[in-house]
A and B are shown apart, each in its own frame.
Chain A
Amino acid sequence: AQSVTQLGSHVSVSEGALVLLRCNYSSSVPPYLFWYVQYPNQGLQLLLKYTSAATLVKGINGFEAEFKKSETSFHLTKPSAHMRDAAEYFCALERGSQGNLIFGKGTKLSVKP
């Protein structure tokens, strides 16, 4: 069965520090992987997606993620956190041929001044 695990329900960093949000997946077929961000009272917004091309994927707002098949991981990083990055982040895996997404439980990112 396919699944997504996000390690750490809450991550806190200082402004300007590295952001690292962890995501591990389980899939019997080559996966399509996504990171979404959810700001308070807003819908989910796509940050980036991996679709089997380059393993290092660059997204919006300075975020990037690296697909590592050997580690079954797709961790999200940003070199320098901004206050506006405070939000909840969801890693997701596309299931099968229908396109519906399997989401992790989310990681809430707090940024301290």
Chain B
Amino acid sequence: GAGVSQTPSNKVTEKGKYVELRCDPISGHTALYWYRQSLGQGPEFLIYFQGTGAADDSGLPNDRFFAVRPEGSVSTLKIQRTERGDSAVYLCASSPLGPTDTQYFGPGTRLTVL
């Protein structure tokens, strides 16, 4: 079956611009996670959705970052007033129910802020 997909695969933007990154989880998975992977580092947790609601957003670095999952499937990560330090690979993962389930990762979106 289809895995987790993320679009775009690459995004180049200028400092100060707004970007949206999309994640399509595996069909039927209720849990969805966003992570950010900077160069030379492991992924770092950003936000966790259970259904439509954000169950844990403690990893969002500041109020420029926001994510939604309005219908409990597709999720969008939104970054306002981008900064060069936001450059990273943004990973999305989904799992059938949530905690203790295997998380299936998408290929990521590489964001470059010039």
Contact = CB atoms under 8 A, between A and B. Distances in A.
B40 to A, nearest CB: 7
A49 B41 CA distance: 21
Contact of A99 (B42, B98, B107, B108): B98
B91 interface: yes
Q: Is the interface of B mostly helix, strand, loop or mixed?
A: loop
Contacts of B103: 46, 99, 101
Contacts of B106: 43
User: For chain A, which range describes its interface: under 10, 10 to 19, 20 to 34, or 35 or more residues?
Assistant: 20 to 34
A99 B95 contact: yes
Nearest to B92: A43
B99 interface: yes
Contact of A43 (B40, B42, B56, B91): B91
A90 B45 contact: no
Contacts of A95: 45
B51 interface: no
Lowest 10 A-B CB distances belong to which pairs? A103-B42, A99-B99, A44-B105, A43-B105, A100-B45, A43-B107, A98-B56, A103-B43, A99-B98, A105-B42
10 contacts: A44-B91, A98-B55, A99-B31, A99-B99, A99-B103, A100-B45, A101-B103, A103-B35, A103-B44, A104-B42
